[in-house]
Amino acid sequence: MIIALKTHFRVSYSDTDQMGFMHHSNYLKYYETARWELFRSIGMPYHKIEGEGIIFPVTDISVKYIKPAYYDQEISIDTAIKSLTGARMIFYFLATNENGETINEAQITVASVRKINNKACQMPKSIFNRLKELMNNQ
């Protein structure tokens, strides 16, 4: 799979827990930011999609914790779109630490949902086409 976007974050103090690791729930927050940065990079910031009455809630995640992330480390996230239909897209994420070690890997599925009734829906064609194009160019 070819990576669509590389983003970066630094582990903040509030991300840590008393094991001295970034708490395992925080990866989901950073992966969420990474996927909306991917959308921003192709001219579709997620707040505009929500502005059109569509939301993309998470429906499935699977995460593999390989090594801990520590306070103040700079972590890179590679994001790719793994599959795409009008109603659902699957993202793949790979997190790497400053030493180039893979620390975490995830697959996250989001659905296209109409905000007003919380029902699954086809995403607007304009969004779908732009994502399809991105996938083909990955």
User: Could you list the residues that contact its own copies (CB under 8 A)?
Assistant: 10, 12-14, 16-21, 23-26, 28-29, 32-33, 36, 45-47, 50, 55, 57-65, 68, 71-72, 115, 118
> Rounded to the nearest whole angstrom, what is the least distance from the CB of residue 137 to its own copies in the complex?
25
> Rounded to the nearest whole angstrom, what is the least distance from the CB of residue 125 to its own copies in the complex?
23
> Rounded to the nearest whole angstrom, what is the least distance from the CB of residue 136 to its own copies in the complex?
27
H helices within the chain, ranges in order?
26-41, 46-51, 125-137
DSSP H or E stretch at residue 65: strand 58-65
Closer to its own copies by CB, 103 or 134: give it.
103
Stated length of the chain: 138
Closer to its own copies by CB, 27 or 80: give it.
27
Closer to its own copies by CB, 99 or 137: give it.
99
Closer to its own copies by CB, 60 or 133: give it.
60
Is residue 72 within 8 A of residue 98, CB to CB? The reply is no
Helices (H) and strands (E) in the chain, counts: 3, 8
* 84 CB neighbour count, 10 Å cutoff: 16
Burial of 64 (0-12, 13-18, 19+ CB in 10 A): exposed
> Rounded to the nearest whole angstrom, what is the least distance from the CB of residue 46 to its own copies in the complex?
7
